[in-house]
Amino acid sequence: MTTQADGAKRWLAQVYVSLKPAVNDPQGLAVRDGLHMLGYDEVDGVRVGKYLTLTLSAPDQATAEARVAAMCEQLLANPVMERYEFQVSEADGEAQPRGEG
């Protein structure tokens, strides 16, 4: 756990933003058609969303989570068409987003 001079800790937030089920997903349809053209006919549905990793400092996990939720509401997700989900974990030294190392 990295603790900075001001006592704040570093956190890694993994945010998943996806379209609400009722919203059309032309990008998903395009990917599905592309997969079909490549011979992956077994795929019947594709939905495309955003995966963001943020590194931030906060005194504790609850504060970090509250701030990330506010960031999602204000900027990272469009509340009309999208929904979001996130996980906050301690960033050990070098942040380790998904798939790292």
User: Under the rule (CB under 8 A), what is the footprint of a second copy?
Assistant: 8, 16-18, 21, 28, 31, 34-35, 38, 40, 42-58, 67, 70-71, 74-76, 83-85, 95, 97-100
Backbone angles phi, psi at 66, to 5 degrees: -65, -40
CB of 82 to a second copy, least distance (A): 10
What's the start-to-end Cα distance of the chain, in Å? 17
Nearest Cα to Cα of residue 87 among 53, 47, 50: 53
Nearer to a second copy, 53 or 90 (CB): 53
CB of 18 to a second copy, least distance (A): 6
Nearer to a second copy, 3 or 40 (CB): 40
Distance CA 7, CA 59 (A): 7
CB of 23 to a second copy, least distance (A): 13
Residue 89's SS3 state is strand
